[in-house]
Chain A
Amino acid sequence: MKKTVCCRKQFYGRAFQSAEHPQIVLAGQPNCGKSTIFNEVVGYRSIASNFPGATVTYTRGHVRIFHQTFDIIDLPGTYSLTSMDPASVETQRYLLSQHVDVIVNVVDSSILSRSLELTLQLMDLEIPMVLCLNMMDEAERKGIHINTDTLSGRMGMPVIATVASKGRGVQHLFAETLRASAAKKTAHHILYSRHVESVMDDMNRHVREAFKGTSGYPQRLIATKLLEEDQYFIRMAREHKPDILKKAEQCRKQLVSAHGRPADQVIGAERHALSMSIFESVALVEKPVISWKERADNLLMHNVWGYVILFAVMLSFFLVVFQFGALLEEPLVTFFNQWAASIQISPPLLSFMAKGMFQGIGGGIAIVLPYLLPFLLGLAFLEDIGYLPRVAFLLDGVMHRLGLHGTSVIPAVLGYGCNVPAVMATRILETPRDRFIAALIASMVPCSARMTIIFGLVGYALGGIYAFGIYVLNLLVIIATGTVFSRLLKEDTPGMILEIPNYHTPRFKVLLSKTWLRMKDFIIIAWPLLIAGSAVLSLSEFFQWTPFINRWLTPITRILGLPPEVGVTLIFGVLRKELSLLMLFQALGTSDVTAVMTQAQIMTFTIFVVFYIPCVATIGVLIKQVRLKATLLIVLITVFWALMLGIFTRGIAALIH
């Protein structure tokens, strides 16, 4: 994927934009609790999880605090201001091109020394800042005691300690933030060692002469970034003042010859040394007590037990969702069917439509929600406790066989919830090739909508073991597809570097809010579609369009050995996967599918629906993430697999009988 840069706009961007309300930006390293703080003030709007890179795009919230209105922007976490993966590029672009009144630099206090490296870079932006030492309880547990006053003195900005997960200190933080925003005072630069500063001086001078203050960016920022060979700034310089690149080259050579390392490493090391020395001067470190975290890791990341537990966790997750859903599904379906049968309205057209819509409403409550609710709760729990990065560690070796690395496990696991955020999460990967393969995999993972079809149809009619079988088959197909594409697109993946965060005890309220936020998506977007879809289907039956569509789709239904009436449901499935299931009931005129379809047909239908074309929403994000061509390729691959596996299932079933 080539990134096209609209340079002029960004070049003159920052200085000239103004906003209605003061703009507060939350910036910090991944997994330091930005989204938790955001949610604490704005209400649960931004999905916060316990893995690095949970937020891949920014969320804006509008709040009134202390009788004043503000915009709060939750940016994706980034380790540095250098553009590496799309998530950190987004952060960098935002900070460089949008109007920002004050930056709240959120820091995980338990890893203060490393986090300060980003703080030093943010200071180069010359925007008023507040340093938020979050997770102070975690730091204390690790035996790190931080003197916030001394730190505030060294950094030249307010420093506020918080424990956002418990809401502690957040009010104070925003009071200070508003004060800093009003004062418009920026901190002084903290200087590097003498030789590096002398080279910086030269570079600063070149920047001043070249741009004469027209760039809209602080001088020192441009100078540092050109020395570090940041692509964004190199491109900007090439476009506007190409001469400065040669000067930057000379300055870099000076650094290389004096320090024996590439220039970007020299600057990186300077920031590192500064952060360490600041940390040492403000923190008192005691020996930490060996926590249960170590003990848990010894088990969960163990070379044997880790995998056993992973398997057990996945299996029990599956069983709980299935059992819980099945328990509710049957009585609810019966209830709604009886109710639907009792509807008698004239004229017949109205009655048709009413029944259709009613089936849409009932289908949502009886078949989708019973599985969706426990699934989303369980996923939220696994995310918040911090299990996913451990899974990434365990599966890194396996993922390499698919030509990816362990980090790509995270989008894949998210895919079981919904493919849309899963495809978006591929942005934490570095290369376009990795992102393509991960997006392909993510869109093949059976999401919770498809889960309702697997459980509601196959699980219900054939039994849980067959439902589980579909998941295993899906996994095998994904492995095969991944392997083929990683061989075709030969290129070394850069390999995994993933921070393994501490475990957090999830708060029930937060789990519920997160589940609700995700359910809302179903209720607001999918459900109306289900209801409208049901109504449209009723109408098309009333006007006799359905046979026409079905006839058009007979090549597919015939090759799969399915009743021709199901043809139309496949079309609806592209809109939302659950629609296929509900439409099926309607097309067949009953929710007791076993009466009209054989077990083989049910299995074939489900497998086809699980594998074919991602839903419209997923296609939408795919186009955004991997472009149209790759999206079409993914669609073709899924259709190919759906047909192959559908025919295969039909064949196997015929053999057995």
Chain B
Amino acid sequence: MVMRQTLDRVALSTRVEVVDIRGGWGVRQRLNQLGIHPGDHMMVKRSGIFHGPVLIAIHGCDVAIGRGMARHVIVREIT
């Protein structure tokens, strides 16, 4: 059974695949612009304290995504 979760809950150093982006036009566009599309692989590198952002590595670059925004990204772990 493949576990699906939102990006903000992924444990550090886990490789995940984007399954879906749940959000309106603006959220989708903004994530797409930084190279985050369904099917992409990425790794969670860091998670900020005080409800801070998550830092992901995707296509060879680091992107900080605010926690609220990360909640829109549905991912599954790659085993």
Q: Mark B51-75, 1 if CB is under 8 A from A, else 0.
A: 1110100011111111111100000
Partner of A397, one of B39, B51, B70: B51
A516–B40 Cα gap in the complex (Å)?
A: 44
A389–B37 Cα gap in the complex (Å)?
A: 23
Q: Which residues of B contact A142 (CB under 8 A)?
A: 60
Determine, out of A66-74, A261-269, A344-352, A358-366, the stretch whose residues face the partner at the interface.
Answer: A261-269
A633–B65 Cα gap in the complex (Å)?
A: 32
Q: Which residues of B contact A261 (CB under 8 A)?
A: 38
A117–B40 Cα gap in the complex (Å)?
A: 15
Q: Which residues of B contact A144 (CB under 8 A)?
A: 60
Q: Is the CB of B64 within 8 A of A496?
A: yes
Q: Which residues of B contact A229 (CB under 8 A)?
A: 25
Q: Is the CB of A396 within 8 A of B62?
A: no
Q: Which residues of B contact A272 (CB under 8 A)?
A: 32, 35, 37, 40
Q: Is the CB of A499 within 8 A of B34?
A: yes
Partner of A500, one of B21, B35, B38, B64: B64
Q: Which residues of A contact B62 (CB under 8 A)?
A: 297, 499-500
- The CB with the most chain B CB atoms within 10 A, among A262, A389, A405, A495, is that of A495
Q: Which residues of A contact B25 (CB under 8 A)?
A: 229, 262, 264
Q: Is the CB of B64 within 8 A of A389?
A: yes
Q: Which residues of B contact A265 (CB under 8 A)?
A: 21, 28, 32, 37-38
Query: Is A620 part of the binding interface, using a Cβ–Cβ cutoff of 8 Å?
Result: no
8 Å CB contacts to B: which residues of A247-263?
261-262
Q: Which residues of B contact A313 (CB under 8 A)?
A: none
Partner of B59, one of A113, A262, A396, A500: A113
Q: Mark A266-307, 1 if CB is under 8 A from B, else 0.
A: 001100100000000000000000000000010001010000
8 Å CB contacts to A: which residues of B1-35?
21, 25-35
Q: Which residues of A contact B51 (CB under 8 A)?
A: 397, 400
Q: Is the CB of A500 within 8 A of B55?
A: yes
Q: Is the CB of B64 within 8 A of A303?
A: no
Q: Mark A392-409, 1 if CB is under 8 A from B, else 0.
A: 111011101000011000
Query: Is A494 part of the binding interface, using a Cβ–Cβ cutoff of 8 Å?
Result: yes
Partner of B33, one of A79, A397, A494: A79
Query: Is A498 part of the binding interface, using a Cβ–Cβ cutoff of 8 Å?
Result: yes
Q: Is the CB of B50 within 8 A of A496?
A: no
Q: Which residues of B contact A268 (CB under 8 A)?
A: 28-29, 32, 37
Query: Is A355 part of the binding interface, using a Cβ–Cβ cutoff of 8 Å?
Result: no
8 Å CB contacts to B: which residues of A506-561?
none
Q: Which residues of A contact B64 (CB under 8 A)?
A: 389, 392-393, 396, 406, 496-500
Q: Is the CB of B31 within 8 A of A497?
A: yes
Q: Is the CB of A264 within 8 A of B29?
A: yes
Q: Which residue of A is nearest B30, CB measured?
A: A497
A370–B29 Cα gap in the complex (Å)?
A: 46
Q: Is the CB of A269 within 8 A of B26?
A: no
Q: Which residues of B contact A111 (CB under 8 A)?
A: 35, 59-61
Q: Which residues of B contact A393 (CB under 8 A)?
A: 46, 48, 52-53, 55, 64
A405–B46 Cα gap in the complex (Å)?
A: 17
Q: Is the CB of B60 within 8 A of A82?
A: no
Q: Is the CB of B63 within 8 A of A499?
A: yes
8 Å CB contacts to B: which residues of A64-99?
79-80, 82, 84
A113–B37 Cα gap in the complex (Å)?
A: 13
Q: Is the CB of B60 within 8 A of A397?
A: no
A269–B59 Cα gap in the complex (Å)?
A: 14
Q: Which residue of B is nearest A279, CB measured?
A: B59
Q: Is the CB of B69 within 8 A of A497?
A: yes
Q: Is the CB of A497 within 8 A of B66?
A: yes
Q: Which residues of A contact B53 (CB under 8 A)?
A: 393, 396-397, 406, 496, 498
Q: Is the CB of A495 within 8 A of B34?
A: no
Query: Is A149 part of the binding interface, using a Cβ–Cβ cutoff of 8 Å?
Result: no
Return B58 CB to nearest CB of chain A, in Å. Answer: 8
Q: Which residues of A contact B52 (CB under 8 A)?
A: 393-394, 396-397, 406
- The CB with the most chain B CB atoms within 10 A, among A398, A493, A499, is that of A499
Q: Which residue of B is nearest A80, CB measured?
A: B33
Q: Which residues of B contact A126 (CB under 8 A)?
A: none
Q: Which residues of B contact A202 (CB under 8 A)?
A: none
Q: Is the CB of B61 within 8 A of A114?
A: yes
Q: Mark A380-397, 1 if CB is under 8 A from B, else 0.
A: 000000000100111011
Query: Is A110 part of the binding interface, using a Cβ–Cβ cutoff of 8 Å?
Result: yes
Q: Which residues of B contact A499 (CB under 8 A)?
A: 34, 61-64
Q: A400-B51, A495-B65 are in contact. Are A114 and B29 (CB under 8 A)?
A: no
Q: Is the CB of B65 within 8 A of A497?
A: yes
- Beyond A114-B59, A261-B38, A268-B29, list 6 extra A-B contacts (CB 8 Å): A272-B37, A400-B51, A406-B53, A494-B68, A496-B69, A499-B64
Q: Pull 12 A–B residue pairs with CB atoms less than 8 Å apart, ordered by A.
A: A82-B29, A84-B30, A114-B35, A265-B32, A272-B35, A297-B46, A398-B50, A406-B66, A496-B69, A497-B63, A497-B66, A499-B64
